[in-house]
Amino acid sequence: METVTTDDGVRLWASRSGRGEPLVLCHGGPGLWDMFEDVAATLADTASVVRWDQRGCGRSERCAGPWTTDRFVADLDAVRRHFGLDRTALLGHSWGAQLALSYALAHPDRVSALVYVAGTGIGPDSDWHGAFEENFLARLAEQPERLARWRELPEGDRERAVLQWSVEFEDRALALEHAGRMADPWFGVNAECNKALNGERKRIWGTPELYAACQALDLPVLIVDGERDIRPRSAVDSLERALPDVRRVILPDAGHLPWVEDPKGFGEAVATAVRY
């Protein structure tokens, strides 16, 4: 384990493992922590994998922000520099996919390839968020006692998070077990970070300027989706249409964390992109 110090003095938790071409992972959230131990193990013979906890989250130093994409892009660049990487492949999941894309747009010369996993595209939230909320409640209501329990627990509670995350898996029999592993160890969700960055996305995502920037992005991009993600995969079409060098892999039996439910398919797709 290593400590990365940002240009404003905040300490970030980081770890490197495996061998091969460099690959930096950006976890989801906002406000969560790295849950990529399985991914790092799967890619151990393919890539030198760097994991890190974002500012104010997980094992990184608790701080007062700032909670902006620009700040998180600068933090990611501090991670890159700390490990001595001139160029690296990036893999981002969910919110982390948005962060990795933002970094690639800001610093394309420092990125060899981008793996965009389970993101929501570059359109406005109206492209997907309403359907996501409807699908979320419908899936949780498949077992009414879980929905009732989720509603009575306070925000930030571990049990509530596990119930909430259980909807992300296509295999309903194993969903609670998978979600429980996400919460072990439990660091607590940084609600302030989550609210600020989600609010920023609602204000600035979906602009013609963002679409034009993606059209000019001169590096290979792999989009990986779990077909059974409760966020409509059609939202990602906006990004796929814009990118000049893009390939898309859809894993039919996986949800929002496709490496959990189809580790073989996920690992093969990412390995191909890293070796591009």
Query: DSSP secondary structure string, 77-139?
Result: HHHHHHTT-SSEEEEEETHHHHHHHHHHHH-GGGEEEEEEES---SS-GGGTHHHHHHHHHHH
Does residue 6 sit within a domain?
Answer: yes
Does residue 129 sit within a domain?
Answer: no
Does residue 172 sit within a domain?
Answer: no
CA distance 84 to 127: 39
Take residue 72 and report the two structure tokens written for it. Answer: 């998180």
Does residue 79 sit within a domain?
Answer: yes
Does residue 182 sit within a domain?
Answer: no
Does residue 224 sit within a domain?
Answer: yes
Count up the domains in the chain and report the number: 1
pLDDT tens string, the chain, 276 residues long: the values are 899 999 999 999 999 999 999 999 999 999 999 999 999 999 999 999 999 999 999 999 999 999 999 999 999 999 999 999 999 999 999 999 999 999 999 999 999 999 999 999 999 999 999 999 999 999 999 999 999 999 999 999 999 999 999 999 999 999 999 999 999 999 999 999 999 999 999 998 999 999 999 999 999 999 999 999 999 999 999 999 999 999 999 999 999 999 999 999 999 999 999 986
Position 181, amino acid: R
Domain boundaries, position 10: 2-124+188-274
Burial class (CB in 10 A: 0-12, 13-18, 19+), 106: middle
CATH (domain of 208): 3.40.50.1820
CA distance 82 to 84: 5
User: Of 89, 85, 123, 117, nearest to 103 (Cα)?
Assistant: 89
CA distance 206 to 247: 21
Query: Is 213 in contact with 186 (CB distance < 8 Å)?
Result: no
Does residue 19 sit within a domain?
Answer: yes
Does residue 138 sit within a domain?
Answer: no
